[in-house]
Amino acid sequence: MQYLLLIYDDEKARWNAPADICDALHTEYRQLVGELVRDKIYVGGNPLQQTETASSVRVREGKTHITDGPFAETREQLGGYFLIEAPDMAAARAIAARLPGARNGTVEVRPIVSLPM
């Protein structure tokens, strides 16, 4: 089954961290991705640009409304995601716990709904 691991953290702290800390985190993520690819668990994933680059789109009564910024103001922002293949929720949670972002943020684990093609 596929699971989406949504990585939330304080984006100001992440984007303003010293270069050596950022480099260490990137190295740790790359190593983890390498292991997950090797074990045929990793399907995909990416970090996201800062929320200031986001747009929110809503359609109400046939009219499109676009606002700059994220959907909601929160303490932690969505900073990236992993899409993984795992046998069950327990295995997906164990992988989420290995993400560096889980140490100072939150990783939300969501099962993917399989739709017939």
- Give strand pairing partners of 42: 84
Cβ-based neighbour number of residue 43 at 10 Å: 15
What pLDDT score does 11 carry? 85
From the centroid of its chain, how far is CA 40?
Answer: 19
Q: Residues in the chain with pLDDT < 70?
A: 71-73
Cβ-based neighbour number of residue 50 at 10 Å: 13
Per-residue pLDDT tens digits for 79-112: 999 999 999 999 999 999 999 999 999 999 999 9
Please give the model's pTM, rounded to 2 decimal places.
0.88
Cα distance between residue 25 and residue 33, in whole Å: 12
